[in-house]
Amino acid sequence: MFDKKTYINRRQALKARLKNGVVLLPGNSESSANYPSNTYLFRQDSTFLYFFGLNHPDYAALIDLDSGEEILYGDDYSIDDIIWMGPQPTLAEQAEQVGVTRTAPLQAIEERLKKAIGQGRRIHFLPPYRGETTLRMASWLGIQPQRLSDYVSVELAVAVVALREIKDDQEIAEMERACAIATEMHTLAMAMCRPGVVEQQISGALDGVALRAGAGVSFPSIVSQNGETLHNHYHGNVLTDGRLLLVDAGAETNLNYCSDFTRTFPVNGRFTTRQKEVYDIVLAANDRAFELSRPDVCYWQIHNAACLVIAEGLKALGLMQGDMQEAVAAGAQALFMPHGLGHQVGLDVHDMENIGEKYVGYDEETLRSSTPGLSSLRMGKRLKPGQVITVEPGIYFIPALVDKWGKEGLGGEFINYARVREYLDFGGIRIEDNLLVTPTGNRLMGKHRPPVTTEEIETYMAEHRQ
């Protein structure tokens, strides 16, 4: 945990942004996997972690904006629990670690909330995303589970996003650690990669690195020689000479700050000319995003600039044709990159996505576009110093999408379908890095960037392959 002052200051800052009422911040509970006592790895709610720091199930917190009170709700362990779990700190001891002086049993929260509701006071809460929390909140608040979303507090959403999206120095240091773990994961994947290895052997080894050095992976790793499938979690393929392996993987530190990197490299350690040609276009798009990322630039504009690099590169290879500015305005390059350029990273790998994209990725000024490609962009708003974002351009040859666009005549004048069909066995390439927006521009996160140019990758693989 950070020093208690950090959590005290964060709660003060939240109170300063809200007028009145009661803020309800539920922590997460254990979640059963296949029978009640066999649970998934516990993951605390990130907003609860941000304000209350305690990585422990079945806690909830209230902040009374009128009286200033902060109350941590939870239950102390009984002797029966301690027999199974060993000595445990009390609720009060844990509360003290994060600067909270008032604690109460979990069941007392309902009475306090119902009393506040009876007095006509506003209860501020964020959209729940787990079944257990939804049911618990519905019962505490006397609202049907399916109606909870009608009562979500926009003021709280806006205030939480404003605070969490700007990372302070100790958060940045923590995220540097998450990036260092990711570098270890990606270089291990390069070292393990060769024909005959099963993808699962690599993904399992990456899980091991993430768990050895932190709280585990920040999302289920994507380790696939079918990199054209964007979120491919099937890891059963045997790696084949001549193919590319796409690894999209990141880690969480023990304080649950995340990283998210993608590297794509040749199974046999050497890029073919055709693979290198496509790779260098994606890398140029990644470089362009670094060139342009600075405060006050809208992220959707950086997305479009990276897409223009991709479109121009594909035109040079004969896969696209015509005016590429017009092609990008029409979203024709989305045949090859049907996703957005990136997203924020923090206590969640897609930071704060549970709060609602309208407040996290967009704002009063920016709205998600309906143009192909841009329509998949999770974040369009202006950048600010202190944000950590990913840039993750890619080029993919997705046979089903080529087929559909071809049949429907989509992107028609800009796409050379005959040439594109020559690449249907290519797979996909994505290159993802994490950057910090600084007052004057940006800087790469991770002191040791995983090898990224084709030359760096080939050299690394030649020297380290097992």
Tell me the three-class secondary structure of the chain, residue by residue.
CCCHHHHHHHHHHHHHHCCCCEEEEECCCCCEEEECCEECCCCCCHHHHHHHCCCCCCCEEEEECCCCCEEEECCCCCHHHHHHHCCCCCHHHHHHHCCCCEEECCCHHHHHHHHHHHCCCCEECCCCCCHHHHHHHHHHHCCCHHHHHHHCCHHHHHHHHHHHCCCCHHHHHHHHHHHHHHHHHHHHHHHHCCCCCEHHHHHHHHHHHHHHHCCEECCCCEEECCCCCCCCCCCCCECCCCCEEEEEECEECCCCCECCEEEEEECCCCCCHHHHHHHHHHHHHHHHHHHHCCCCCEHHHHHHHHHHHHHHHHHHCCCECCCHHHHHHHCHHHHCCCCCCCCECCCCCCCCHHHCHHHHCCCCCCCCCCCCCHHHCCCCCECCCCCEEEECCEEECCHHHHHHHHHHCCCHHHECHHHHHHHCCCCEEECEEEEEECCCCEEECCCCCCCCCHHHHHHHHHHHCC
Interacting residues toward Mn ion by CB under 5 A: 248, 260, 390, 432
Q: How far is the CB of 414 from Mn ion (least distance, A)?
A: 27
Which lies closer to ligand GLY via its Cβ, residue 217 or residue 402?
Answer: 217
Which lies closer to ligand GLY via its Cβ, residue 164 or residue 343?
Answer: 343
Which lies closer to ligand GLY via its Cβ, residue 45 or residue 433?
Answer: 433
Q: How far is the CB of 391 from ligand GLY (least distance, A)?
A: 10
Which lies closer to ligand GLY via its Cβ, residue 70 or residue 252?
Answer: 252
Which lies closer to Mn ion via its Cβ, residue 215 or residue 217?
Answer: 217
Q: How far is the CB of 372 from ligand GLY (least distance, A)?
A: 18
Which lies closer to ligand GLY via its Cβ, residue 221 or residue 275?
Answer: 221
Q: How many CB atoms lie within 10 A of CB 325?
A: 12
219 binds, among ligand GLY, Mn ion, none (CB under 5 to 8 A by kind): ligand GLY
Q: How far is the CB of 191 from Mn ion (least distance, A)?
A: 20
Q: How far is the CB of 282 from Mn ion (least distance, A)?
A: 14
Which lies closer to Mn ion via its Cβ, residue 248 or residue 348?
Answer: 248
Q: How far is the CB of 188 from Mn ion (least distance, A)?
A: 17
Q: How far is the CB of 323 from ligand GLY (least distance, A)?
A: 30
Q: How far is the CB of 434 from Mn ion (least distance, A)?
A: 8
Interacting residues toward ligand GLY by CB under 6 A: 219, 248, 260, 343, 392, 432
Which lies closer to ligand GLY via its Cβ, residue 186 or residue 343?
Answer: 343
CA–CA distance, 195 with 82 (Å, rounded to integer): 50
